[in-house]
Chains A and B, each alone.
Chain A
């Protein structure tokens, strides 16, 4: 791997200072755990003049119960999410997703904010400098052609974070802070359908905390992903599903979200017809087909898109069957 570029590291201990430094240094990048960012810096994908380390900011470290739900600070490590009993009980697929990120060592210092803001990934992007140079770079970074879809004018790099889909099925909201103050938005609005700029954060803005609503606490849920090896690898496809049942095992509420098959975490639409019915074989097939249709895997991994589309449907069907049993 390449040498590290020479950058200045800032370690502010409060959010205001972090935003101020970031605003003063246009080229600066935020970094938290660094499990993905430092790799990208070493590969020359990111060439920051300065890094603003957020892990010294102390008021973003806590998981707090509040009146309307649960707040998770952006600096909370994936390990603490995985091991938190409230999350395990009330929002089980979030704990499951945190425990499935990379491996246990990464989870020790990878953070919630970092996983939500994870850069999109592509076979032609997450490579060494000489590899990308030999390939004339790509649309996302320095080049002018997307090697995934050469005739297209857009980037298809896939969002591959595990936490986002698991939080989306619980209708999570996030607090975003920036130079012009703080705003609370649905987590879904953090993302847009563009592999080159998949986050809607403005200049200097950062994700401060996640809010999980009390109304959905305790709903059963699952998260599962397919990957090449059993650990460390990023997902080829991931599915989070929340399914609440009422009288006679009928579906009261259902939500499904995907990762790694689109440039943004995708919420599956058109599931209203399942409400108040039972999940039999036909309904499970309907879920599988809906997930397959709405996922748009491209040639961004070493594994073929057709396989990822099949596997994401199969995972969704299996998890739905488990939760409805």
Chain B
């Protein structure tokens, strides 16, 4: 393809589906997901990597969508909060947040859930300290974190009991 000024051909998968777009070089992944693809589950909070609300998984690793240029995601697998539930059935972590009251206003929740998803994929049986460390890039202004940690613990326990892994 001929090079278009300040634009890049972006081929990646978003939530398992192939996505081919021509994007502006300066487009941020958060805006690409929200504006171009309409996936508004990913929230933009501080817009500067301080709050973690925009956390998505890129090749299984949590990253800030608000600090990642979309053009750098060529060939990558991106997963957002929208990918977790299956046929309206909540994932284990989502269920944990629901049952343990891990969400209040809910704005930080997509980022928290994705950070927890990234954590449990690398460490399926984290202790409280490891959960705190794994979610240390995410800020919640409502819950005081105790309920969030219980939610992740509950999800890890559920996955362990059912013999599933993320």
Q: Residues on A close to B: CB < 8 A? A: 1, 4-9, 11, 34-35, 38-39, 42, 51, 53, 55, 102-106, 108-109, 230-232
Contact = CB atoms under 8 A, between A and B. Distances in A.
Contacts of B136: 103-104, 230-232
A108 B28 CA distance: 18
A9 B69 contact: yes
Given A1-B47, A7-B6, A8-B6, A39 B67 contact: yes
Interface in B91-107: none
A6 B8 CA distance: 13
A35 B55 CA distance: 13
Given A9-B72, A38-B69, 14 more contacts: A5-B26, A6-B24, A8-B6, A9-B8, A9-B25, A11-B71, A34-B69, A38-B28, A38-B49, A104-B133, A105-B63, A105-B115, A109-B63, A230-B136
Given A42-B48, A109-B68, A4 B28 contact: yes
Contacts of A7: 6, 25-26
Contacts of A106: 49, 64, 137
Interface in B17-46: 24-28
B77 interface: no
Contact of A53 (B55, B62, B72, B133): B72
B48 A55 contact: no
Contacts of B82: none
Contact of B50 (A53, A108, A109, A232): A232
Interface string B116-153: 00000000000000000110111100000000000000
Contacts of A34: 67-69
B52 interface: yes
B84 interface: no
Interface of B: 5-6, 8, 24-28, 47-50, 52, 55, 61-64, 67-69, 71-72, 115, 133-134, 136-139
A105 B72 contact: no
Contact of A8 (B5, B61, B68): B5
A232 to B, nearest CB: 6
B48 A1 contact: yes
A105 B48 contact: no
Given A104-B62, A105-B115, A4 B26 contact: yes
A165 to B, nearest CB: 21
- The 7 lowest CB-CB distance pairs between A and B, nearest first, are A103-B137, A105-B137, A9-B25, A231-B136, A4-B26, A1-B47, A103-B136
A238 to B, nearest CB: 17
A11 B48 contact: no
A262 to B, nearest CB: 25
Contacts of B138: 103, 105
Contacts of A230: 136
B59 to A, nearest CB: 10
B119 to A, nearest CB: 8
Contacts of A231: 136-137
B26 A6 contact: yes
Nearest to B5: A8
A104 B139 CA distance: 13
Contacts of B139: 232
23 contacts: A4-B27, A4-B28, A6-B6, A8-B5, A8-B6, A9-B25, A9-B71, A34-B68, A38-B68, A38-B69, A39-B48, A39-B49, A42-B48, A51-B69, A55-B72, A103-B137, A103-B138, A104-B134, A105-B115, A105-B138, A106-B49, A231-B137, A232-B139
Contacts of A232: 50, 136-137, 139
A269 B53 CA distance: 43
Contacts of B50: 232
A56 to B, nearest CB: 9
A105 B25 CA distance: 23
Contact of B63 (A11, A51, A108): A108
B28 to A, nearest CB: 7
Nearest to A34: B67
Nearest to B23: A9
A7 B71 CA distance: 12
A38 B55 CA distance: 16
Choose among A1, A35, A104 the residue with the greatest number of B CB atoms under 10 Å from its CB.
A104
A275 to B, nearest CB: 37
A108 B61 contact: yes
Nearest to B137: A103
